[in-house]
Structure 1
Amino acid sequence: MAKVLKWVFFFVAAFVLLVVGSAIALQYWLRTDDFRTRAEREASAALGVPLKLGKLSIDLWPLPAVAADDVQIQTRPALTVGRIEARPGYPALMAGKLEIATLTVRKAVLPQAAIAAIGNAMAKKDKGAKPAAKPASASRSTMDMLPRKAVFDDITWIDEKGQRITVDAQANLGFDGLLDEASFRIVQGRLAGTRGNVERDGDFWPVRIDIGGGHIAGKLQLQPGKSGSQVLSGNLNTENVEVSALTAPSKPLTGKLQAQTTLRSEFRDVGQVADVLTTQTRFTVRDALIQGIDLQKAVNTVGLSRGGITRLDTLAGQVNTQGKAVHLTNLVATSGAMSATGNVSISPAKALNGMVNVDLASSKGSLGVPLAVGGTVDDPSVTLTRSAMVGAAIGTLVMPGAGTAAGAGTGQKIGDSLRGLFGGGK
């Protein structure tokens, strides 16, 4: 028995030495300039954008993996990754298939402009390439090539305005290529402190996001669509979320949000999901504060008004979105003696366009004043509509007796009411 154990020990030791020796030799080969140059050239050709690698290596602990350090895709601005590790699926590898079990990405900086540049470069390359017959071994779907587990550590996204969000996240895929579970946490930048998770439950994916002192929760569903498309749909409930947490760092509106949302997106490519997404939301904001607009001042000055604030007890309405376009309809705002109704649209460029009718109550009765909304989300403006301006001007100029002679015109009524409401006198 002792001899058998002795031989087993020798065989195991020899195998370990062989693996370590092979790894050292392969490590040396991967780190040569010749291999790195060839890898850079092939990756650059695939992306359509120059790529530089700091070094390539093989890790043996805790499990064998291939790693690339200091990766730089030379767009303007550059996309950089501190380290990428890929660990193969060994059962699949034994069967002659290349399958990535775990993909880890660390310390990446992803400018939105760089992502767009890579997408444009790959689209041009694919458009100019001649179609060729694919061998049977290359017929695997994109889903088959996705890693079963992905870990993202210290990933920074930079949007078109230069605003940063740093995220830690991970995701696991099922054997059918669909998401089993995922979680994320925003550690720095916009929306810092936000965290969320989604976990598969049959044909549904319950989701919960903790943000702004409240949460967003609901269920999503992915189903086959027409002509090979996919349809993402779902219902979400928002409870007690601070509105400004959703729009940070911009704070055009503050207050506690309650909302019910339905969403739908029919797409063929995952990158199209946001562009074709449509949502319908019914909402109520309590103790609302609108920044950049003073509705009472706008009425009082009878002209263009910028700056100031409007305090509201409640603001309710409906929001419909299509891609980046936003439409607010059936708006109803109340605050003491003042109430307002209206509709406002927000363009993809954040420009405002709409109409708000402000009702002010006083001892002289109630007055409805129509205001045109313009400017941008960050710099809104309101002004009396053209017809209201004309009426106010007439009411200001015409003497009290002249109004009667003219048949008690609308201009007289608006002018007198405005002065009375805000202490202007006659």
Structure 2
Amino acid sequence: MRTRARRWTAIVTAALLVLWAGAWLALRAFMPSDDELARRLEALFEARTGQALVIGQLHWRLLGTPVVEVMDAHTRQDEPIRVRRIALHPQLLPLLRRQLVIDRLEVAGAQVPRDALRALRGSAPVDDGNVVLRRLVFTDLTYTSYAGIPVAYSGEIRFDDDRLPRRVQIHRPGVEPPVALDATRDGRTDNGAHIYRLELQAAGGTASGQAQLITTDDGHLRLTGQLAPRQVEVQTLLDAFHRRSFISGRASGTTELRAEGETWGALARSLHTRSELTVDGGKILRIDVDKAVKSLGDDRAGETPLDSLSGVVETQNTEHGMKTEFSDVKAVAGSYSATGHATIYRKRLAAQGRLDIAGGAVGVPFAASGPTRQPEFKIAKGTIAGAAIGTVLLPGIGTAIGAQIGGAISGPPDIEKDKEKEPSQPRRPPR
């Protein structure tokens, strides 16, 4: 009796295995090969974006842990978007209901030039009603800004069931002291806005605050927020983003931010910040103001300790990169004091100010304009310092006070690097 039961068990098991194998083979007959799926994805991408896509390799599987893995993909553009690896981990059962629930999407080694990304914006909207993303993980994602400076980021974003971010963590890999953002969803306000707690580590300092995200009556996303940067080292922060700093010192103050757009991308592109900042232990690097003035500009090597430095910095994302405006700039260094305002936009500088010497006994108006890598400085005739004062003031105080502090993460490009890229233009003699 026991032998017969074992025999029937073996027969049933074998039959089930045969049925399973047959069903699997039949299913495989309707499933695409790796190459077929790669070509389908290329065609779908081009139909959605208008840009051609080339996939180097693609592998996928359903057994075990379902995964679709794409290797060495790039767009066909003058400056292509390149991705070393993308791995998509879907849930299996929702696929049977024609719904794509992605437990984890991994992106590694992506290179994203700004102009290439901009070309994808006019794409037809994707109907994502049946697509749910739970978690996005990216490593060494390099974004090249309008200024042509590549900066790498790594991070992770987790999403709630309503598809809003639950937690956002982003950091600059390999940077010490660390530069990192941690935004965590934390309830709602009385008017229904979603609250996010913001914690930043930046160049030995911190910035804590809160942001509110709400959907407006016309369906737009609106973001507002406040931050309180504390003891952020200016030179170290600029170095972390491959920018050159003209000053050092620890910045503190308050920052307000605001953005609005129909999509997440439009929201980011509309970001506006306003920061009121003071700098402790400030110092103008590579220039000694006193030596420059007394030698009429012949000798300016050294540094200039600042007794005080403060100002207001406003940034606005635009189609042509970030526009940065500095106002109410005030600096004191011994018997010298300076005030002024400046704008940096599309790699160009426009500024005006006044240098007071000997406690205000001599006031020297100055102005500057032109490419940030080599602006033209103008100064009032008959001043004791000539063009040297203009050279000292704008790079040392006007340009550097607020670049990259409190959300202004898009300072002027490295001047020396730009000189290597393009032939230098002769500088006009001072008037």
The alignment's TM-score, normalised by the length of structure 2, stands at 0.72
Per-residue deviation, 1:80:
1.7
Q: Deviations over 1:141-171 (max 9, x none)?
A: 5xx6351211113322233444332322111
Contact kept, 8 Å, 1:89 with 1:98, in 2: the verdict is yes
Which structure 2 residues correspond to residues 227-246 of structure 1 after superposition, within 5 A?
A: 227-246=218-237
* Counterpart for residue 165 of structure 1: 151
Q: Verify the 8 A CA contact 1:173 1:180 in the aligned structure 2.
A: yes
> Counterparts of 1:51-70 in structure 2 under 5 Å?
51-60=53-62, 63-70=65-72
Q: Mark the runs of 5 or more structure 1 residues left unpaired by the alignment.
A: 127-133, 394-426
Match of 2:181 in 1: 196
Larger radius of gyration between Structure 1 and Structure 2 = 1
**Counterpart contact for 2:45–2:53, Cα < 8 Å:** yes
Would you say 1:370 and 2:365 are equivalent positions?
yes
> RMSD in angstroms over aligned alpha carbons?
3.7
Match of 1:262 in 2: 256
Aligned to 2:137: 151
Deviation at 1:51, TM superposition (A): 1.3
Structure 2 matches for 1:84-123, cutoff 5 A? 84-119=86-121, 123=122
Question: Residue 328 of structure 1 contacts residue 343 of structure 1 at CA under 8 Å; is this kept in 2?
Answer: yes
The correspondence for 2:49, drawn from 39, 47, 50, is 47
Give the SS at the match of 1:325. Answer: strand
CA-to-aligned-CA distance 1:209-254 (integer Å, 9 cap, x gap): 2121112221111012352222101001111111123333311222
Q: Are 2:216 and 1:225 aligned?
A: yes
1:340 aligns with 2:325: no
Cα displacement (A) at 1:350: 4.1
* Corresponding position of 1:357: 355
Q: State how far apart, in whole Å, the 1-side matches of 2:75 and 2:221 are.
A: 31
> Does residue 317 of structure 1 match 2:311?
yes
Q: Relative contact order (alpha carbons < 8 A, sep ≥ 6): 1 or 2 greater?
A: 2
Structure 1 or 2: more helix by fraction: 1
- In structure 1, distance between residues paired with 2:29 and 2:44: 23
User: Which amino acid is 1:253 matched to?
Assistant: I
Distance 2:309 2:289 in 1: 14
Q: Name 2:204's counterpart in structure 1.
A: 213
CA distance in 2, matches of 1:7, 1:244: 76
Provide Cα deviations, 1:64-95, integer angstroms capped at 9, x if missing partner: 12222221211112222222222223453344
User: Could you tell me whether the CA contact under 8 Å between 2:273 and 2:315 is conserved in 1?
Assistant: yes
Contact 2:221 2:267 in 1 (8 A): no
Q: Which amino acid aligns with 1:87?
A: H
In the aligned structure 2, how far is the partner of 1:192 from the partner of 1:6?
Answer: 65
Per the alignment, residue 33 of structure 2 pairs with: 30
Matching residue of 1:179: 165
1:187 corresponds to which letter in structure 2? P
CA contact (8 A) 1:242 1:254 kept: yes
TM-score normalized with structure 1 length: 0.73
Structure 2 CA distance for aligned equivalents of residues 286 and 266 of structure 1: 34
2:181 alignment partner AA = G
- Number of corresponding residues: 368
Does structure 2 retain, via aligned residues, the 8 Å contact 1:292–1:380? no
Gaps of 5+ in 2: 188-193, 386-431
